[in-house]
Structure 1
Amino acid sequence: MKTDERYAACIKTEVIGNNLKLKGVFENNTTEAGAFTYKFKCKRTSRSGSSISSQSGAVRAAAGEAIVLSKVSVSFSSDSAYKLDLTVYNGLQEVAAATVSYPR
């Protein structure tokens, strides 16, 4: 689905020791405040199988505001692959999305 260029989403990652720290960020680049919902999913795949962690919520973002939607820390293993998905909605319409694979 095509997202709206007036909004942006990104996922920031950082490995600290045995943890992969994840941060989902949303930017409302419009001139109006708005109410949004989001879904943030982390899928970890390793030799022993896979697991999925997810979060969702509702937020308000002021005009021109960048907000942190979620901060998550997951156990990190160098032999695992991670797929991260962040989707932001205005009502039922998807307005911003980001996907990151780790390692890249």
Structure 2
Amino acid sequence: MSASSRELPEPAFENAIQQIEEETGMSYVASIERVRLKREREEGKVEGKTEGYAALLSTQIARKFGTLPDWAKVRLVAADDITLNRWAEQILDAQRIEDVFK
């Protein structure tokens, strides 16, 4: 059995990785780890973008109609980008806060 096909106990594996990092002067990040990290960054960007849309719309609604009721806050937090964009358009013509969320 070759060394690469043997399973090392976790502490031994971590020590082996640390040794590789020290010898090469680079952090060891497997390809699968790079893919996972990239996906997490992208998901974080999308999530942050959605939160930003919700915060902006919340500010606009509060400015136009006053304090946001709890039900509106819940809907804003739960909404996706498409819904938030639709509501952002609807606020322009809305006469009541309920009209925004149709």
Give the structure-2-normalised TM-score.
0.21
Q: Which has the larger radius of gyration?
A: 2
More strand by share: 1
